[in-house]
Amino acid sequence: MSNCRTCNNPIEAFMTLGHMPFANGFLSPEQYDQEYFFDLDPAFCSKCGTFQIVEQPNPEKMFHENYVFFTRTSKHMVEHYGRYANWVQETWLDDEDASFVVEIGSNDGALLENFATQGIKHLGVEPSGNVADVARSHGVSTLTSFFGEDSAKEVLREHGPADAIMAANVMCHIPDLHGVAKGVCTLLKKKGVLIFEDPYLGEMVERTSYDQIYSDHVYIFSAGAVRSIFEPHGLELIDVLPQITHGGSMRYVFARKGERSVSSNVGKLLSHEDELGLSNPATFDRFKSNCETSREQLVSLLQRFKQEGKRVIGYGASAKSTTVLNYCQIGPDLIEFISDTTPIKQGKYSPGMHIPVRPYSEFKENYPDVALMFTWNHSVEILENEAEFIQSGGQWIVYVPKVRIF
C-alpha cells in the first residue's frame, strides 16, 4: 500500500506493467549491469481521481545533463508549438509589449522561440542542462532549474510577475504538483493564466494506449484530477481544449479563482469523464484486461512473422516503445533493430530488452518486410513520409487502438 502523491489517500496498483527500466535509458552493453529497474505499477486514487504510477524513479536520475529527448526532432511537434504559442498570444496576452511568459520544462525552446522571435519577454525553466543549452542557442532565455516555489521567487525577483505560465508534456512528469502550484501562485499576475497540456487519461483508457505509462509520466491526467490538485491553491479550471498530439492530449487553462470566466467546455468534459467512468475503479480493471489482450495479440503476430522468416524492425525508439517492449517482453529475437533519427540513441540498445538502435538510413536503404510503428502518435506524418515503404511491399504493425497490420 502506498499513498496518493497529491492527496495522500492510500492507493494500490490495479495492475503491473512489470519490471521496467527508464523509458529513455538507451545504453551500451558495458552499462547493462548498472541498468536501473523499477516496478511500473499504475494506480488510481479513488479520492482525488488521479491516475499515477506507484513507484517513482528518481527524477534527478532522469532529467540530467544528458537527457535524450529533444522536442525539435519532430517537425510535427514544432508546428504544434507554433500554433500553441499563437493561441496563447491571441487569447491571453492583452499587451504584448508589457507581457511576460514563462514555460515550465521548456526543453530545447521549441515553444518559447515563437515568443522570442517577436521580442516578447519570456523565460524557460528547464532542469536538463544539455537541452537548455540548445534553447539558448536559439535565442530562448532559459534558467536551468526545476520549477517550484523557490525558483518562482527567483524569477519574480528578477523578471516580475507572469501573464502566462505554460507547460507542454511536462506537468505529468512532476511528482510534486503542489510545489508547482505554489510556484505558479507566487509568479502569476492577478489576471494571469496557467496553461498546460499532457496526454489525456480519457484517450488512454478508450484506446488502450498503455504505452503512455512510463518512467517519466508520473501521472496521466483527467480534468477531474487536475481540478482537484490545483483548486485547493486558489486556481480555477477555466477551460479545456482537446489536442491530437501525443496520441490524444488535453490542454488545461487555470486562472486565479474568480478572475476569469469559466468556459462551458469544462462542465461538458467533466460530464464526459463521468460517462467514461474515469472515477470508477471498474474502468481500470477493464483497461488492464484490454492491455493483456493487446499484449497477446502483438506477441503472437511477431512470432508468426518470425516463423514465416520475415524481417521485422521497430520504427522510432520512443519512450513509449520501452513500455511496450518490456511489458510484452519483446527482444532482439523478434525485432532485428529499431530505426531512429536521433543521433544520441543510434548505436545504443533499447532499455531493458536491449534491441539495437540503428540510424534511420538502415531502414530506408534496406526495407524490412514489416515495421512496428512505436511512434503511432505521429502516424499521419509517418505514412506520408514513408509511402515508398508500402509501395515496396512493406507492412506496418500498429497496436493502438488495436493490434493490426496494414
Q: How far is the CB of 281 from Zn ion (least distance, A)?
A: 13
d(CA 124, CA 143): 6
Question: In this complex, which beta carbon is closest to Zn ion, that of residue 7 or of residue 344?
Answer: 7
d(CA 402, CA 207): 8
Q: How far is the CB of 57 from Zn ion (least distance, A)?
A: 20
Q: Is 4 near Zn ion (CB under 5 A)?
A: yes
d(CA 98, CA 2): 46
Torsion region of 316: left, alpha or beta (phi above 0 gives left; psi -120 to 50 gives alpha): left
Q: How far is the CB of 52 from Zn ion (least distance, A)?
A: 8
Question: In this complex, which beta carbon is closest to Zn ion, that of residue 120 or of residue 278?
Answer: 278
Q: Mark the segment that binds Zn ion (CB under 5 A) among 42-50, 203-211, 251-259, 365-373.
A: 42-50
50-69 positions binding Zn ion, by CB under 5 A: 50
Q: Is 9 near Zn ion (CB under 5 A)?
A: yes
Question: In this complex, which beta carbon is closest to Zn ion, that of residue 2 or of residue 290?
Answer: 2
Q: Is 7 near Zn ion (CB under 5 A)?
A: yes
Q: How far is the CB of 217 from Zn ion (least distance, A)?
A: 17
User: Strands, E, within 126-260: which ranges?
Assistant: 142-143, 162-168, 188-199, 219-220, 235-243, 249-256
How is residue 380 written as a grid cell? Answer: 499521419
Question: In this complex, which beta carbon is closest to Zn ion, that of residue 47 or of residue 260?
Answer: 47
Question: In this complex, which beta carbon is closest to Zn ion, that of residue 62 or of residue 225?
Answer: 225
Q: Mark the segment that binds Zn ion (CB under 5 A) among 8-16, 170-178, 316-324, 325-333.
A: 8-16
- For residue 401, cis peptide bond before it (omega within 30 degrees of 0): yes
On the 0-12 / 13-18 / 19+ scale of CB atoms within 10 A, 169 is buried
Other C-beta atoms within 10 Å of 366: how many?
9
Question: In this complex, which beta carbon is closest to Zn ion, that of residue 7 or of residue 241?
Answer: 7
Number of residues that bind Zn ion (CB under 5 A): 7
Bridge partners for 3 per DSSP = 10
Provide the 8-state DSSP code for 262: P
Question: In this complex, which beta carbon is closest to Zn ion, that of residue 24 or of residue 52?
Answer: 52
Q: How far is the CB of 232 from Zn ion (least distance, A)?
A: 12
d(CA 26, CA 66): 11
192-231 positions binding Zn ion, by CB under 5 A: none
Q: How far is the CB of 48 from Zn ion (least distance, A)?
A: 3
**Contact residue for Zn ion among 48, 53, 77, 225 (CB under 5 A):** 48
Q: Mark the segment that binds Zn ion (CB under 5 A) among 37-45, 95-103, 126-134, 353-361.
A: 37-45
User: What is each CA distance from 74 to 115, 152, 171, 230, in whole angstroms?
Assistant: 19, 30, 20, 31
Question: In this complex, which beta carbon is closest to Zn ion, that of residue 132 or of residue 226?
Answer: 226
**Contact residue for Zn ion among 17, 20, 45, 213 (CB under 5 A):** 45
Question: In this complex, which beta carbon is closest to Zn ion, that of residue 159 or of residue 178?
Answer: 178
Torsion region of 303: left, alpha or beta (phi above 0 gives left; psi -120 to 50 gives alpha): alpha
Q: Mark the segment that binds Zn ion (CB under 5 A) among 5-13, 116-124, 211-219, 298-306.
A: 5-13
d(CA 190, CA 187): 10
Q: How far is the CB of 211 from Zn ion (least distance, A)?
A: 24
Q: Which residue has the cell 494500490?
A: 12
d(CA 372, CA 365): 17
Q: Mark the segment that binds Zn ion (CB under 5 A) among 23-31, 47-55, 174-182, 233-241.
A: 47-55
User: Strands, E, within 229-323: which ranges?
Assistant: 235-243, 249-256, 312-315
Q: How far is the CB of 172 from Zn ion (least distance, A)?
A: 15
Residue numbers of the site for Zn ion (CB under 5 A)? 4, 7, 9, 45, 47-48, 50
